[in-house]
Amino acid sequence: MTSAKIGKLAFQILITTVAVMGIVIGLLNCLPDFATYDSDTSLSEQSELARPSFWSQNRIFWINCLRQDFGASRVNTNYSVGEIIRRDSSVSISLFLLSMTISIIGGGFLGLFSAVRMGTRTEALISYAGLFISTLPTFLIVPLLIYFFSIRWNLLPSALWEGAKAMVLPTIALSVRPIFFLTRIFRDQLIKTSRSEFVLTAYAKGLRPASIWMVHILPNSLRIFVTASGNLFGQIVSSLFLVELLFALPGLGSLFVKSLMQRDYPLFLGVVLVFTLTLQIGHRLAEIINSFISREDKIDQEFVR
């Protein structure tokens, strides 16, 4: 990974973020009471008649961004947007990281397991479970979890973010679908790789199956797994705010919906910026990790030649 490549990735992230914010600001301009935060003019001056043009709205937004000043929330006027986002992001970040780790570990393990044990009853069970889970959207998983775990059996709290016990249900709700998504993709790729010719050669040489799986099949299937995990970023983020709303967690996701419903535009734009940057970085992260993996591929190919 050269510095030029990192620079190129950073440039891509920047361009996409600017474009996304442009789209969002453009869309919000359809609303009658939309106004961006501007430290030089008061809100009353930005009335319908004197609304600044689309370009100057964008310019003002990015200048404020560089100043790290998003203004005060329009609803909670005592707090600045930066303060609110900083306060609420800790819940979202920990929930996100928890479910990301669990889905990557769980998906990787289940995928590997069902590829190695292909054709057995356990593998069929995992596949059917995946099929069943894929028919349940997140907004159905949450009521089911709450009904069984906190109402019926009274095991876990059904809302708020207090103590380790409260983290269990939201994390499960977020990671159940990703786990089986990853399992399916990883399993298919592993099976595909295990049928290729160099694996047959390795078997013919008399290597042990365990070492063939660890040395030949697994590393050659990792690229797809990493790319799929990168796609998971978007999936988890888009179910994140639903899960936060339903479990009444004070996080960025519920902030996103609430700020839009309350027409709190400075706050909303700040949250959208955070989301966009996170997603962009997530996608590129998968690309960067893949470039490391594929470099090893290239070395292998040169060696073969």
Partner 1 sequence: MIILKRISILWLGSIVLGSILIHLGSLNISELVDAKNIFSLPGGAHWLGTDSMGRDLFFRILKGSGTSLLVAASSILISTILALVYGSVSGWFGGRVDWVLMVILDVWMSLPSSVLAIVIAMLLVRERDSLILVSVVIGLTHWGRLARIVRSEVEALRNREFVVATKIIGASNLQIMRSHLVPHLLAVVETFVIYQFPNYILAESFLSFVGLGVQPPNTSWGILIQDGWRSLQVFPHVVLAPALFLSITILSLKLLFLNAEKLSQ
Asked if residue 127 binds partner 1 (CB under 8 A), the reply is: yes
Rg (CA), the chain: 24
Binding mask 5-44 for partner 1 (x = CB under 8 A): -----------x--xx--xx--xx-xx-------------
Tell me the closest approach of the beta carbon of residue 55 to partner 1, in angstroms.
18
Tell me the closest approach of the beta carbon of residue 127 to partner 1, in angstroms.
4
Tell me the closest approach of the beta carbon of residue 39 to partner 1, in angstroms.
25
Stretch 59-118 residues interacting with partner 1 (CB under 8 A): none
Residue with tokens 């005060």: 72
Angstrom distance (rounded) from CA 281 to CA 3: 16
Angle between helices 218-246 and 81-116 (to 10 degrees): 140
Please return the burial class of 152, using the count of CB atoms within 10 Å of its CB with bins 0-12, 13-18 and 19+: exposed
Asked if residue 147 binds partner 1 (CB under 8 A), the reply is: yes
Name residues whose C-beta falls within 8 Å of residue 280's C-beta, 6 or more positions apart in sequence: 12, 13, 16, 17
Closest to partner 1 by CB, 131 or 215: 131
Beta bridge partners of 72: 80
| Alpha helices (H) along 29-80 | 54-66
Stretch 261-300 residues interacting with partner 1 (CB under 8 A): 261, 272, 275-276, 279-280, 283
Closest to partner 1 by CB, 80 or 280: 280
Binding mask 163-192 for partner 1 (x = CB under 8 A): -----------------x---x--------
Q: Count CB atoms within 10 A of the CB of residue 165.
A: 10
Out of 90, 132, 196, 201, the residue judged to bind partner 1 by CB under 8 A:
132
Closest to partner 1 by CB, 166 or 207: 166
Angstrom distance (rounded) from CA 20 to CA 52: 19
Nearest to 184 by CA among 141, 146, 224: 224
Angstrom distance (rounded) from CA 82 to CA 71: 8
Stretch that binds partner 1, among 65-73, 78-86, 126-134, 210-218 (CB under 8 A): 126-134
Asked if residue 139 binds partner 1 (CB under 8 A), the reply is: yes
Question: What are the CA-CA distances from residue 92 to residues 101, 175, 242, 259 (Å)?
Answer: 14, 14, 12, 16
CA 207 distance to own-chain centroid: 39
Stretch 205-264 residues interacting with partner 1 (CB under 8 A): 234-235, 237-239, 241-242, 246, 256-257, 260-261
Out of 1, 50, 63, 140, the residue judged to bind partner 1 by CB under 8 A:
140
Residues binding partner 1: what is the number (CB under 8 A)?
46
Return the DSSP state at 41: S
Closest to partner 1 by CB, 172 or 202: 172
Using CB under 8 A, list all residues that contact partner 1: 16, 19-20, 23-24, 27-28, 30-31, 124, 127-128, 130-132, 134-137, 139-140, 143-144, 146-147, 151, 180, 184, 234-235, 237-239, 241-242, 246, 256-257, 260-261, 272, 275-276, 279-280, 283
